Structure 1
């Protein structure tokens, strides 16, 4: 599994209806994309859920590198870059994935943090994995993933919810593409 995220921050007075329409009319384009486990069409709106910004910020869980590369070097990402400028794409290697029981995710949370330089990475990751496992029983959880960028030792914890807790950066999720989500293995990915 590979996690990928980019954030397109928009002007404070931007009509976010444009983004909602974009997702409604184009979101299904990845509903059968090979190699994609999940794409959450994440949106933050200034003044909603404590967000200081307007932002379109899709989050992906890729089952295969080939799928991720097909997207990045294909017409979908080219079109997005033509419309908004090429965003910086964050990428993390997958550590674990868990499914919840909520059927219809409508919100998401994302939390990132760097491992302290003097910390044992294995111990830090074990703590993060334990937190992931605890979330599994929350009835509002659809799914949750943990990944790491070993270049900067940054962890990302991303979760989809029917109703998100007030933790981390919160997003509304008007659409989720999940063509190969059922093929993504649960638990640790090593």
Structure 2
């Protein structure tokens, strides 16, 4: 599976109700999109203690055909027209663990780590992540052109954390 994400930083005085309404009115359009495993509509709000306002959707694709259709058949044009040209981060999933109550997730944390150079082996670098009892999902994505891995951990209740934490507005699958 492949992961795709773009992180749109918005002005500190941006009315985040605009994003909430946008997702409420159109989020369902990605439900059952060909090749999509799931998409989470993520936001950060400065007024809630985040560093900045942002809209940061995360997609997990079953195959590249669906991802290519989304990017190149006009669907991504809605983002370009609304927010300007966005760089799309692409990664490869090394593990996707979802609990039965995944669709009830309301928050997700993001932790990024360097994959350090090894002279001998990369074996064990991407060890499987195990869900804790308060977690509804965990996705590990790696990007070998940057040698980074990112762990997204999903929750029903907002966790106490120092990691970047997003609110989930909708989950399409």
Please give the TM-score of this superposition, normalised by the length of structure 1. Answer: 0.83
Q: Deviations over 1:76-127 (max 9, x none)?
A: 211111110121111111111112243511111111121122474323222x
Q: Aligned equivalents of 1:168 and 1:74: distance in 2?
A: 35
Match of 1:4 in 2: 4
Cα deviation, residue 151, structure 1: 1.0
Cα deviation, residue 152, structure 1: 1.2
Higher strand share: 2
Aligned positions of 1:13-52 closer than 5 A: 13-48=13-48, 50-52=49-51
Size of the alignment, in residue pairs? 170
Contact 1:102 1:161 in 2 (8 A): no
- Which segments of 5 or more consecutive residues in structure 1 lack a partner in the other structure? 179-190
Q: Aligned equivalents of 1:74 and 1:82: distance in 2?
A: 14
Q: Does 1:157 align with 2:156?
A: no
CA RMSD of aligned residues (A): 1.6
Cα deviation, residue 176, structure 1: 0.5
Q: Deviations over 1:49-82 (max 9, x none)?
A: x311000000011111101111111222111111
Cα deviation, residue 47, structure 1: 3.4
Q: Deviations over 1:3-57 (max 9, x none)?
A: 1111000001000000001000010010110100010000000031x31100000
Match of 1:172 in 2: 167
